[in-house]
Amino acid sequence: MNYSGLLNTYSRYPVEFVKGEGAYLYDTEGKEYVDFLCGIAVTGFGHNHPDIKNAVQKQLDGFWHVSNLYHSSAQESLAKKLAEQSGLNYVFFSNSGTESIEAAIKFARKFGKEKYEIITTLNSFHGRTFGSLSATGQYKFWEGFAPLVPGFKHVAFGEIEAIENAITDNTVAVLIETIQGEGGVNVPPSGYIKKLRELCTAKGILLIIDEVQTGMGRTGKFFSYLHHDVIPDIVATAKGIANGIPLGATICSKEVADAIKPGNHGSTFGGNPLAIAAANVVADLLNEKTLASIQDSGKILMDGLHGLHMNEIKEIRGKGLIIGVEMQNGFSSKDIASAMLKRGVLIGTSGDSVIRLLPPFIITEKEISKFLLTFRNVVSDMSVQKN
Ligand SMILES: Cc1ncc(COP(=O)(O)O)c(C=O)c1O
């Protein structure tokens, strides 16, 4: 291992970026890359967005930090926007996805009093800190970190009976992604989320939706559960919320919020002024027109992928601008991502065989065509080498 001073937690691609503009990034050699990853679903409005930059700059010129001990009208303004869009009432701000999930778990347990069990799904991903890691339904992330936090049950994703059978008198909540992002861009059968809401209501347990990856416009609705005509009891979101400035948000119903008192939870940096300034602009930019254009661009990309008619593709799935392409016949997602990087296109992966596409909302047909052409060429070159 080369000594970089950095702990070896990431296998990094051999490129360093020095500049970003819209849907493009530029490396130290000045080479241009079209960004179909957005820092893993973060920079939805692209790099260097002028309105977001101006808002952060203005806040920088004022102050950077005062703690959460004082009133903040900017936090309150964002909280009201998130409450309105989510159909819920109160917001707790943190700094990341995993923290937004930790808060959701704590609020649910506080609400549940003596009840503490939370049902989550296999292949889910909820974060890397102990609560969210214990909620995550993938063994590879737990390995070596036992004992985990007790009280989590993992059942099959997409099967309502599996959740129903797991509910006991101790169950306080179900925690779920509407599309499993990290786990393979897995889309559940239609009607699943709606039935889950009905089940939770009937059993008197909370429905917590993890919108860390799918929220903030990614699927073409402000929150992805709005495609399913449901309102959860708690929503956790982060990633795209401030277009790259760290921020997490946990949004709760009034009933859940009533269980929380000063001192029950907190964060020194949570809802920091720079992130809140950026997120207030992001929330305004995510209007009906933008959400419709995300759905349109997602359809163009999805249709383009289907139009490639490639034997190497097993399945194409997703919603809006979160799309997974599952490869078959031993094609490795990492090899494809590396080859595409060399040709100036950044993409993500979910496991060994799924490539994950998370382009910015400002993507145009020009960039979609560039992606499709590069993807087709990379995979056909790899096919030739294999044979
Ligand atoms: C659905 C989901 N939940 C939680 C997280 C954790 O977010 P963070 O990496 O900001 O802690 C992620 C990150 O990929 C995620 O995709």
Residue 387, pLDDT above cutoff 80: no
- Is any atom of ligand 1 closer than 6 Å to the C-beta of 127? yes
Asked, for residue 11, whether it belongs to a domain, the answer is no
Question: Nearest Cα to 236, choosing from 382, 370, 381, 120?
Answer: 120
Q: Are residues 126 and 250 in the same domain?
A: yes
Domain range enclosing 57: 50-285
Asked, for residue 5, whether it belongs to a domain, the answer is no
**Last residue in a domain, options 285, 311, 332:** 285
214 — pLDDT class (breaks 50, 70, 90): very high
Q: Are residues 247 and 265 in the same domain?
A: yes
**Last residue in a domain, options 285, 303, 332:** 285
The per-residue pLDDT for 1 is 57
Asked, for residue 8, whether it belongs to a domain, the answer is no
Taking residues 252-272, what's their average pLDDT? 98
CATH number of the domain within which 326 lies: 3.90.1150.10
Taking residues 239-259, what's their average pLDDT? 98
Interval 328-352: pLDDT, tens:
999 999 999 999 999 999 999 999 9
Q: Are residues 23 and 36 in the same domain?
A: yes
- Is any atom of ligand 1 closer than 6 Å to the C-beta of 102? no
- Is any atom of ligand 1 closer than 6 Å to the C-beta of 215? no
Asked, for residue 43, whether it belongs to a domain, the answer is yes
Residue 251, pLDDT above cutoff 80: yes
The per-residue pLDDT for 3 is 83
- Is any atom of ligand 1 closer than 6 Å to the C-beta of 242? no
Residue 2, pLDDT above cutoff 80: no
Asked, for residue 319, whether it belongs to a domain, the answer is yes
Share of the chain above pLDDT 90, in %: 98
CATH number of the domain within which 117 lies: 3.40.640.10
Q: What's the chain's average pLDDT?
A: 97
| Number of folded domains that form the chain | 2
Q: Are residues 270 and 347 in the same domain?
A: no
Share of the chain above pLDDT 70, in %: 100
Cβ atoms of 42 and 212 closer than 8 Å: no
If one residue of 94, 157, 175, 182 were mutated to test the ligand 1 pocket, choosing by the most ligand atoms within 8 A of its CB, it would be: 182
- Is any atom of ligand 1 closer than 6 Å to the C-beta of 212? yes
Rounded CA separation 95/100 (Å) = 8
If one residue of 126, 237, 267, 356 were mutated to test the ligand 1 pocket, choosing by the most ligand atoms within 8 A of its CB, it would be: 126
The per-residue pLDDT for 385 is 87
Phi-psi region of 221 (alpha: psi -120 to 50; beta: other; left: phi over 0): beta
Asked, for residue 7, whether it belongs to a domain, the answer is no
Task: List the beta strands (DSSP E) in the chain.
Answer: 17-21, 24-27, 32-35, 90-94, 117-121, 152-155, 171-176, 206-210, 234-237, 248-252, 313-319, 322-327, 345-346, 348-350, 354-357
Asked, for residue 217, whether it belongs to a domain, the answer is yes
Taking residues 258-266, what's their average pLDDT? 97
Interval 71-112: pLDDT, tens:
999 999 999 999 999 999 999 999 999 999 999 999 999 999
Q: Are residues 196 and 271 in the same domain?
A: yes
